[in-house]
Structure 1
Amino acid sequence: MAEEQARGQGPARRNMLSKWLTVGTLALLAACQVVPKGRPGPVAPPPTATRPEPVGPSLPTDKERHRVALLAPLTGPNAGVGTSISNAANLAVMDTGGTKIRVTMYDTATGAAAAAQRAIAEGNRVILGPLLAEDVRIVAPIARAAKVPLIAFSNDAGVAGNGTYVMGYSPGQSINRVIDYAKSKGVTKFAGLVPIGLYGQRSSTALLRAVESSGGQVVSVQTFDRSAGSMKAAIVKMNAASPYQAVLIADSGRVALTAVPLIRAGGGRSAQILGTELWNTEAGIAASPALKNAWFASVSDGLYNQLAAKYRSRYGKSPYRLASLGYDAVLLVTKIAADWRVGTPFPQSALTDAGGFSGIDGAFRFNREGIAERALEVQQAGPGGFTVISPAPRGF
């Protein structure tokens, strides 16, 4: 079953469980049982024939299910996305029946270290989360000392390794995919507009590597601090360089809406506009004339749209796009649990199965560095929304 431990925030909230979903079978996602919001209590039958024994201050021993912790910000400024992830994880437990795993939620907003310590003390053998890279850095050594692996929701590749696995959407993979697609359409000269900061640094490196490996040329990469003056100055410098056929705007779609008219007014009048996975969270930008025919690579939304509909039905509001990470993390652990004996350590080697896993966001697998490699599609913006112009591969 799924439980929530909101430490210091009031009584624990409980969510319900139901039947298994095989990802890729679309009919099941729509057909899964949905229990009205606010009705507590487990659906899956509790273990029988044994009396539970305490393993911590509040949780009993479960003789038939594996204990899995989910760490996310359930209060504070990031509570919206954290709650979306945890609620989607509850839906996944419901869909898979909850016969193999018991998921307990811990609030990192009140202290990531304390949440991790509590999760380990209460017998959890694997941790899903945290969300923020800074929290992953705090939790990782605590979990490592207890030999409990982390499957984090961060997209910061820098926190991966040594028992920490990163599920978040990597800008590097998105950039590599859209550059490869552009190259297949005859684009060889690229420019880049990237924000100052870690995301921009990694995007710039990814752009240079992707273009080099495709046999193309990067004629200019300019940075900006998101102020209007800084962006304008960066675009002026970029347009003053050698002519380019495509420009990558490694920032949100709303930033791109401001940048594109400035690019068109200078040397990039006919340049192909490229974006990153960040655009997939902003469907409203597709109809803007400024981004007409722009390309970006991201995970597929096919199954996510069904998950979002079910989420709205149960919780009465739309989820954040990152909610699928919580759902897919539960699917992953449930799959591994089929061959994982209760009471033994989590079989960490199963995470690096070369065949990978399938989820709401499509096929993915963890590489040797602990970073999720994803099968991405290329989408194009237009008046009717985002349309797929290059489908994601079905596997590896």
Structure 2
Amino acid sequence: MSPTFSPARPRPLAWMLAALLLALLAGCATVETSSGPVSRMTLSATMVQAETLANQAATQKGAQRRQTVDQIEALLSGLDNATLQRDAAALPAGNPLYNYAGRALLRRGLPLPRPFDRSAWQFDAGNRPPADSDGYRPPVKLAVLLPLSGNLATAAAPVRDGFLTGYYGETRRRPEVTFYDTSTGAIAAYDRAVAEGNDFVVGPLGRDEVGALFNRGTLPVPMLALNRAQVPPPAGNASFSLSPEDEGIAAAEFLLDRGAHSVLVIGAEDDTQRRAVASLRERLAERGGVVTDVVGEGTADFAPFAAKPGGIDAIFLATRGSAARQLIPRLALAGLAGKPRVATSQLLSGTGKAEEDRVLDGIAFPSESWTTHGIRNLPPAVSAAAILPNAKGPAARLFGFGYDAWLITAYLERLATSATGIEGATGVLRIDGFGNVQRTPAWSTFSNGIAVPLASATQR
């Protein structure tokens, strides 16, 4: 059944036809599995301490619980990969620490020893028909909450088109879909979706909107929020986000895995980059690393920072590509040209001319699986961009995000009940024991001024 739009408005024929064309090129989702033996052994002292805190957190709420959770995550972050994997496998079923340990494993791109414990967070499939053999079990009647008009409609358009590409690319049973405009209020749109009999909701996009809905506690219809709020998802609900905090964590893990513990940060002043820097700093500190300095992209001389006692192991660039091109010669003058360099995904912004971008060669940055190496369930990014404007340039990332929102919706039960991950457009997708979708990104670099997959960054 085809999607409908609410309130009634003309359907943009161009993007509907484009989505259909893309769908004809698309295949089915592939599922990545991970497995390993579970064994009992003596837990490390750190894990025992974290276990005590996890038992406390199970009875806490609000700010007190958030503080305890922060302590748990700090303890787990201090464990090396081998100890974390060993201790997580040793935790018995039902242990409240396991979900925290599993989330820490996913953030490092490491496999789970077994599925998350779902005693507190359980997904109810309601009256959906039985799942197919690959776990495909979409809703019966689906509501999508997006700003279809107003200032945010432009940003929402590639999310919508990516979602519809996934929807039309599926040849099996598909739900009836209705789009609800959130420009006049996401809560009102959600309430209307519930009143009209939808059994699942995707959206909204705004952080405050998501927080307002999650603060309601138990929701009558489960939802996949397209952002992450300060409030955790209520039981049975989930959230999915391309957050800068996740990029900061991914960059920190990337550097730590390569032995870099002292990192010089060069950051822009916008909120997105500041959040990525704060996340990187926190994760490095938790795992024994340090940010030596945070300096602006307008810094003229990096020699004083390079000469500090202890030295610099690597450089983190929280800047756009256009600014990074100006920074690289200055870093070379300070003797830092040979240091590993990692950036946020915004490095791609302001690039596209190989002769200018050669100066960026060797910088690693998180990227989308679809645009990096392609995935079976989507046509090549170049082909999609030629058909649909909302699938090219900076919008390609949001297009992939929308596509993955459909995948998560269709495979949510599979994600919630197993240790498997779905290979989506934005990376490998898994859902932790608290309803948060965890994304393991692909990694890219520049070679001769062209963005290419980073061969040394294995997607785990």
The normalised TM-score by structure 1 is 0.70
Partner of 2:86: none
Distance in 1, Cα, partners of 2:290 & 2:269: 22
Distance in 1, Cα, partners of 2:219 & 2:186: 16
Deviation at 1:365, TM superposition (A): 1.0
Partner of 2:199: 125
**Residues 314 and 240 of structure 1: CA distance in aligned 2, closer, same or farther (over 3 Å):** same
Secondary structure of 2:352's partner? helix
Distance in 2, Cα, partners of 1:212 & 1:380: 26
> Which of 238, 241, 248 lines up with 1:175 in the alignment?
248
Partner of 2:111: none
Unaligned runs of 5+ in 2: 32-126, 130-138
Partner of 2:262: 189
> Which of 366, 374, 377 lines up with 1:303 in the alignment?
374
Distance in 2, Cα, partners of 1:255 & 1:2: 44
Q: Does 1:88 align with 2:162?
A: yes
One-letter code aligned to 2:240: M
Distance in 1, Cα, partners of 2:304 & 2:212: 40
One-letter code aligned to 1:331: L
**Residues 317 and 374 of structure 1: CA distance in aligned 2, closer, same or farther (over 3 Å):** closer
Q: Does 1:23 align with 2:95?
A: no
Deviation at 1:277, TM superposition (A): 2.9
Partner of 2:347: 279
One-letter code aligned to 1:124: N
Structure (1/2) with the larger strand percentage: 1
**Residues 316 and 362 of structure 1: CA distance in aligned 2, closer, same or farther (over 3 Å):** closer
Distance in 2, Cα, partners of 1:220 & 1:325: 33
One-letter code aligned to 1:297: P
Partner of 2:238: 165
1:299–1:374 CA contact under 8 A, matched in 2: no
One-letter code aligned to 1:69: A
Q: Does 1:104 align with 2:178?
A: yes
Distance in 1, Cα, partners of 2:154 & 2:417: 31
Deviation at 1:69, TM superposition (A): 1.4
Q: Does 1:232 align with 2:284?
A: no
Q: Does 1:219 align with 2:295?
A: no
Partner of 2:225: 152
Q: Does 1:252 align with 2:320?
A: yes
Deviation at 1:248, TM superposition (A): 0.8
Q: Does 1:354 align with 2:419?
A: yes
1:222-249 deviation per Cα after TM superposition (whole angstroms, max 9, x unaligned): 4x5xxx7xx4389687557443132212
1:274–1:294 CA contact under 8 A, matched in 2: yes
One-letter code aligned to 2:431: F
One-letter code aligned to 1:66: V
1:140–1:150 CA contact under 8 A, matched in 2: no
**Residues 261 and 352 of structure 1: CA distance in aligned 2, closer, same or farther (over 3 Å):** farther
Deviation at 1:270, TM superposition (A): 4.2
2:194–2:220 CA contact under 8 A, matched in 1: no
Distance in 1, Cα, partners of 2:432 & 2:292: 31
One-letter code aligned to 2:233: G
Secondary structure of 2:299's partner? helix
Distance in 2, Cα, partners of 1:371 & 1:73: 23
1:112–1:138 CA contact under 8 A, matched in 2: no
One-letter code aligned to 2:408: L
Deviation at 1:194, TM superposition (A): 3.3
Secondary structure of 1:190's partner? strand
Partner of 1:365: 430
Partner of 1:335: 411
2:261–2:288 CA contact under 8 A, matched in 1: yes
> Which of 281, 288, 297 lines up with 2:357 in the alignment?
288
One-letter code aligned to 1:332: I
Distance in 1, Cα, partners of 2:258 & 2:357: 23
1:36-84 deviation per Cα after TM superposition (whole angstroms, max 9, x unaligned): xxxxxxxxxxxxxxxxxxxxxxxxxx99861111122223333233111
Distance in 1, Cα, partners of 2:382 & 2:5: 26
Secondary structure of 2:277's partner? helix
Higher RCO (CA < 8 A, seq sep 6+): 2
One-letter code aligned to 1:358: E
Partner of 2:83: none
Unaligned runs of 5+ in 1: 26-61, 337-346
Q: How does 1:7-46 map to 2 (within 5 A)?
A: 7=7, 10-11=9-10, 15=16, 21-24=27-30
**Residues 285 and 206 of structure 1: CA distance in aligned 2, closer, same or farther (over 3 Å):** farther
2:362–2:446 CA contact under 8 A, matched in 1: yes
2:225–2:240 CA contact under 8 A, matched in 1: yes
Distance in 2, Cα, partners of 1:284 & 1:63: 45
Root mean square deviation, CA, Å = 3.8
1:151-199 deviation per Cα after TM superposition (whole angstroms, max 9, x unaligned): 2333x46354325533222434433444444445453421113345654
Secondary structure of 2:264's partner? strand
Moved more, 193-202 or 380-389: 193-202
**Residues 181 and 350 of structure 1: CA distance in aligned 2, closer, same or farther (over 3 Å):** closer
